[in-house]
Structure 1
């Protein structure tokens, strides 16, 4: 009886230790202004940035505090970030004189193209995605009347003068963007993605079999070739918003059906054709 109780006690202790080890230490949570939650370990904070690492990784990632709404620390303490704590973008905007608003003009904002695994943005893909959406609107100009599309060079030049690019476009209020660009309509798209790679190996055997005279012993001279194949799968989430005179008139999120490299482009087309500015001809 005593042996059974002792064994039970040992098992309970082992189970507790195992569960504790599996659970690991508690993580900090960064809640971004776009409502994305990052579970991580925060290593360093300053007035402008927060440095953290993801679970199981040692790579240090930096994020501007202007993108953070709140941090819930593993200790149970929470810290809320006021947008006024880092208002460099708005301060820069104040030095830019407002453009005259051109009625029925729509501007295409830079498109943040973000790897959801490490929160890194691609400048080349951000420009490509912005240009792709701009060309889609031009191609469908007859379907978005009476709207006209602001020239992309004009849009990017005015944003550059205001100190705004694909990295901080989400931090600027739509009202300010309309004044900076001189438009009363804005389309804002963001693409988030992650990539998984599946590896498969195929082995091909070839050779000749030789049977001995006594018909009992078989010898072979086989050649074996193994080929490795890597297949990449792209998983996207496309966020599509439209604004008119500061008001959000359309907001949709779509995940492409196919996990292929350019499937996000199909989602952009799909959402554009179902937006309130688009009419079938």
Structure 2
């Protein structure tokens, strides 16, 4: 009788362990380029799509691999995907490296290309993106004494490494920061964006000139007035500057600022303002 009880207890224990194992089943994780994490069970993969099901569901969902940055499988294996915006095939199936990483340089900060976008038309300017990146880079160099112990990575090195990885001002926002740090070999990154709309305004000004003639008897006065009106159209720039800083893939500072003036270069003042109030800036 005791032997039967022992068998019964063992069977129940096995059933409980099996149920617990099923309920606590480890899931796969899909990390998307927009930083969304999907916990799921992956059913199948191809060079274009990944099919998965959510916990407790049997319906399969298809996701284009161009939206995926990395997949962490329940087995412990990781598969990452090329960060190039035009890529649609896995880049590697190893420990999580997206592409060949640059040698890590501790306490180094890199300046990313600065998207310069007309939010009304959604058009971006490559020339202004490079100009804004260069302006921010020079501001960091000018204040290098206030950034100690950080060193600013040379802009040519930054842009060369990004170019090799297929990244530019158009797709920089789609690339995870942890991937950018590996590509650039830095542990600090400053990322800014300039968004603007244009409005038109008209101004006018009037100038008066005249000559007075007085008669000999000093009673009659004749005047001849000339009035000139000039008008001109002005363009107003309505900016919004976005300013983010990252350290070891963690966002340590995030601010937005609208310049006080609506002139063409007023976004530069906002960049200076936000930089001086960032956590990396130490007043001397």
TM-score tier, shorter chain, comes to: 0.5 to 0.7
Q: Does 1:114 align with 2:117?
A: yes
C-alpha offsets along residues 179-225 of structure 1, whole Å, 9 cap, x if unaligned? 110111100000111122211233445567999xxxxxx99976553
Determine which structure has the larger helix proportion and give its number. 1
Name the SS of the counterpart of 2:84 in structure 1.
Answer: helix
Shift of 1:112: 0.3
Q: Residue 219 and residue 167 in structure 1: after superposition, are their counterparts in 2 closer, same or farther (change >3 A)?
A: same
What is the alpha-carbon distance in structure 2 between the residues aligned to residue 138 and residue 208 of structure 1?
Answer: 60
Q: Paired residues, what number?
A: 202
- TM-score between both structures, scaled by the size of structure 2: 0.62
Alignment of 1:89 with 2:69, yes or no, is: no
Structure 1 match to 2:10? none
**Long gaps (5+) in structure 2:** 1-33, 36-61, 69-82, 92-97, 215-220
Separation in structure 2 between the aligned mates of residue 100 and residue 175 of structure 1, nearest angstrom: 14
Aligned twin of 1:136:
139
Alignment match of 1:227 (pick from 227, 230, 251) = 230
1:232: Cα distance to partner?
Answer: 2.4
Equivalent runs, 1:147-162 vs 2, <5 Å: 147-162=150-165
User: TM-score, with normalisation over the residues of structure 1?
Assistant: 0.63
Residue 167 of structure 1 and its aligned partner are, at CA, apart by 0.7
**Is the partner of 1:89 in helix, strand or coil?**
coil
Q: Quote the residue 1:199 is aligned against.
A: 202
Over the aligned positions, Cα root-mean-square deviation in angstroms equals 3.2
For residue 262 of structure 1, report the CA deviation from its aligned partner. 1.4
Q: Unaligned 5+ residue runs, structure 1?
A: 1-32, 35-80, 212-217
Bigger radius of gyration? 2
